[in-house]
Structure 1
Amino acid sequence: MSDTTDTPRERKPLGLKRSIDAGEVKQTFSHGRTNKVVVEVKRRRVLGKPGEAAAPAPAPAPAPSPAPAAPPPPAAKAPVRAPVGETPQERVARMQREAEDERMRLAEEARKRDEEQARTSAEDARRRAEDNRKAEAEAAERALDAPAEASAPVQVADAGEDEAPAADGTPAPAPRRFTPVARPEVKKPELKKKEEKRPAADPRAERGAGAGDRRSGKLTVTRALNEDEGRRARSLAALKRAREKERRSHGGPAKAREKQVRDVVVPEAITVQELANRMAEKGADLVKALFNMGLMVTVNQTIDQDTAELLVEEFGHNITRVSEADVDIGASDDQDAEETLRPRPPVVTIMGHVDHGKTSLLDALRGTNVVKGEAGGITQHIGSYQVKTKDGQKITFLDTPGHAAFTEMRARGANITDIVVLVVAADDGIMPQTIEAINHTKAAGVPMIVAINKIDKEDANPQRVRERLLEHEVMVEAMGGETQDVEISALKRTGLDDLLEKIALQAELMELKANPDRDAEAVVIEAQLDKGRGPVATVLITRGTLKRGDTFVVGSESGRVRAIVDDQGKQIKEAGPAMPVEVLGLGGVPGAGETLTVVENESRAREVAQYRAEKATAKRTTLAPTNFDTMFSNLQSSVVEFPVVVKADVQGSVEAIVNALHNLSNDLIKVRVLHAGVGAITESDVGLAAASRAPILGFNVRPNPKARELVKRDQVEMKYYDVIYHLTEEIAKEMAGELGPERIEHVLGRAQVKEVFRSGKRDKAAGLLVLEGVIRKGLHARLTREDVIVSATTIASLRRFKDDVDEVRAGLECGVVLADTNDIKPGDNLEVFEIEERERTL
């Protein structure tokens, strides 16, 4: 039993049998693209010829002395007995070494078999080639030994029509020098020759060719690493370039390409670079051509249409002239067909003096409280709302500011409205902004309804308001006129139904209609830069329907409607005529009062916006000083400039502030607005203010964090306001302080120089006769000669005879010594005055 356990069992060597070798190949494609591919190479399977037994393993080379028998194969050797006391780690290492030796032995045997097969294949190929040559030689000899009558049909068949046998049976002419012979039945010797030239070192390639190249598309390590097959395929463009290069190298210089003639669209004004782009020419070539014409321009300068036409013809292109109307989108004069018109809500603008109750009236109609949201209780934006009456009709209301600074807002509100409701307080009566609103309404040519508010007050007198309206040619129905009037109280909510009825009646008489089934057109009521939503424009649809996704252009900005928000803050998909909405998706903040027009595509919108921007830039350039004389005259002007930077929350406030600041300017000091924009105060605003030493006026806006840091670092003066007349009052005081106190001259006396005496070594004394007033010592004096000022000085000394006196009155004579001047002659006049300083007001 111990013998059985001690005798080791025959074990196979421990190792991994690798039947597949894996590798990584880098593929290269056109345009610099590469890819790494993992490929596998299967171990070759040796196949014998049909009918043959499997080839035995090759025996080792025979020794010089004959051996009685071949040595046994290595695979049959007895297993090595494990040494006594071997640890498991040593046993595993030993088994790995044995497996590696076995793998190397098998690889060497496989290599020898491959070499033997390659030699056998080469010998078979040479043998087949030799047999083919012998067969061709035998076939040629048999053809030469054949009788003439056997070759005659071949000659007749190959002869032309002129070599045909004659009709009398005479033999045909002698055969041609190279007589075709009949080929033996040898199948395609050319293929045999090709097989002879083809290297047969790789039996796998031979097997693949015999199998019809069915595996030719598979990527292997051999194919990937082969220089001929691994080269990446050339692109079509590379092949064309190679052919062109070869043609140039063989055929000499390439032929000049034919110049392509283009149709160039030229507007009324265009830059040189833009014209070069449209002509597909170099900008430098156009500048050179203009220089030859005597024009010194750069590529960024604008040229007129006639000069552009000369350039286009100079370069051999065709010009297409377009006018401003062809590029820009003007006001739509087209009228919609009568059958396409549908009734629309009326647009009603509420106007009047500040604090007369316009916004309170709108609050009462809407059931909201807008006044609490307005700083100082006054409206500083154009608010737009839509109210639904009891009978289901809709009315669009626009609330305009009543302050004097918002003149343009009121004018804009009157121009886009159908009906104006003039709110007049029953206690205050007609005020300046009331008169201004009446004038705006008359200029716009729209009907007016007078709403006499605050009738609940004790000192209310509606009849006096009606009488005062007659002074401004406004006659209400109670006074025998055509203008409707209604007494209301926005606070007590009385008379509101009567007001709505009168508005509905007036709208019914006007027959307001619009076509909703067309591209939308709208008027920008207000615009602002919202921190979270970007540029936002409040628009009033005039005709058509604005839909989400429409492409539009407004002023010099273009965009795509990203969202539409109604007056309740809800997002809607479309907005019809006479509906106020907020539009998101603009490229920038447009100007208030500009027209929004929907266009067919984005390229058209960008073209129109770019044209309008170039036109605005050209207009600003023409207004700027164009020569050094104008610039220096502006520098030498005695007018003091007060620079400011204005930032506000909406576009309408920016307009109102800028206009109010310009109205503060006078002959001595003027406001220079360095920059006026919408949105928060940014770093660029602080940098501009710091460079110009100007204050920043923020109206309902604040600086961002980075701007606040710059304000502290550069010590820029910041001023925040939420009521516009507070801003104007404070800026007026600062401008007055910039000029200093006001100096007022009071003339006290006049005298005439009779004689001039010497006083001391340098000074001269003048003998005077006081003509009027009084002359005092130490006062300011002005010496004139023939009404021309000679010098402005002061009276240093005053004497009466030989005594020093303080003053000399009219009709008396005296002697004076003037400070800082000796240019005194008899006949000069002396004017004495004193200066009073007062606090300056603008």
Structure 2
Amino acid sequence: MKKKIRIFNLITIKELASLTNVRKEEIIKICSSLGIKVSFYQRLDYELLTLVASDLGYEVELIDKQIIKRNNKKVSLSRDPVIILLGHVDHGKTSLLDYIKRSQVNYEEYGGITQNIGVYKVNINKNNSLTFIDTPGHEAFMAMRYRGTQITDIAVVVIATDEDIMQHTNEAINNAKSVGIPIIFAFNKIDKKNSDIDKIRRKLAEINILVEEWGGAYQSQEISAKYGIGIDKLIEKIILEAELLDLKYSPENFAVGSIIESSLNKENGYTATIIIKDGILTLGDYILVGEIFGKVIKILDERGNQLKYVRPSRPVLILGLNGTPAAGDIFHSYKTEKEFQKIFNYKNLLKKEQELRFESHESHTSEKLNIIIKADLNGSLEALTESLEKININNKKINLIYKSIGNINESDVLLADTYKAMIVGFKVKISSAAQKLANNNKILIKVYNLIYKMEKNIKDFLSNNSKREELIYGRAKIQNFFTIRKIGIVAGCIVLEGKMVRNSTIKLKRDNKILYVGKLNSLKTFKKDVNVVKKGSECGINIKNFNNIKIGDIIESYKDLGGSWRMGGESKVIY
């Protein structure tokens, strides 16, 4: 009989690894055998998750599967595509947006309800409308990517043909590819004398992007946002791509969608700008998004007019939540408070259960160095990744958080700060703003020009600089063990050195190797709970969430004084 994994939301490779006690790399291999490429932090859809878990001997119970079941009405209508425009800051993205708005008589602009992400809808003809999202930069889109969501259906990447493929362009392409949405390239500024379209096509080919003109699969269009050249054809290609996607929704379904942004203001309290992907959201519905919830008390359009309901692909502002969810978070709606409360309560119980299992798994795993990689070319990036993933020094390994092409910027440092990671660059530069931020947050950045030098330095770093500061309380030896009701397995020990301290961090050692790192949960002498047991005394020890003990094992009690991979913001180029 297969074991059961109970989850509320679709989970990532990393989360599945923690719940099944299987290495992330093994799960990646299973996905590859199914012909699907995934990353550690990509959420698996329900079908793929079920297949992979079954291969590992587990059965998946998706607690929110009633949403899948209840949103399976056969009646379906076409919905408008949601398009995100990406590109370097000065390559003409804003000019393209402005021209599209000016050229269409019947356009509806939603910029009034968003502060950082411009959203507007263009009615192309009686049958076709397009909703555009303009992000302030790749960071917002990257945040959506990390949450495994897909607010948009199509990405249009704008590239200036009189310049080069810039850092933000590379990151935009990588992010759109990782999310799995179609990409259309808009080759802008063809009116310029120094425009070189073939150079751009060649540069794209170098990172394995072939446009249709060169026999590839990616649509592209030459345009001049300034004079409106080629923009009608670009819109036609967007519509064609949307037709191939065959985007549908059912008006009978409950609303499911994504958060674009959220805020708090004195007049309205917590507000969120949303886009629905399926179903219809009605005034009075209950919404659950992560740990944020509430009843929809207002739905506002772009002009502040109140609506009674909203269909998919139209951005609106809603009021009634109890907090500010993050951009990219998925929300589900419920018609009754009873239904909502049942899911909300069960989710809290499930969250606690998963936290315990994750904590237990993480304690078993080897010590890891979190790393972010930035490289000059895609080939270099893959070579660096392969080299780093093979490193294993004294059971210390590399945990790759993020990798992309381009110079090291502020968003990389912010990501490193979140994950306590080191940034490794290869033949790239560090922006002055990123350097300043790294110094302030004590993020270690190292840039290399030779891969073997990088590999040697990382190995040396793991060997010499990865120790955390610890205050050792004492050591005890397991002499026997027995089971106590409501507590579990208790090890009968004699304290060899120092003292055993209740609720301290412990290491369980067997044959001088660390088998487990966790918490000293219960400490007893003669069935009495105590806080400290000193050298020479016998005691009973229960280790939190761990029962695999043997006579002769050593329990080391200590306090973790901290320390991390942060080394004072050092950054230098190593040749």
- TM-score, with normalisation over the residues of structure 2? 0.50
**Which has the greater radius of gyration?**
1
The structure with the greater share of residues assigned to helix is 1
Using the size of structure 1 for normalisation, the TM-score is 0.35
Structure with more of its chain in strand, by fraction: 2
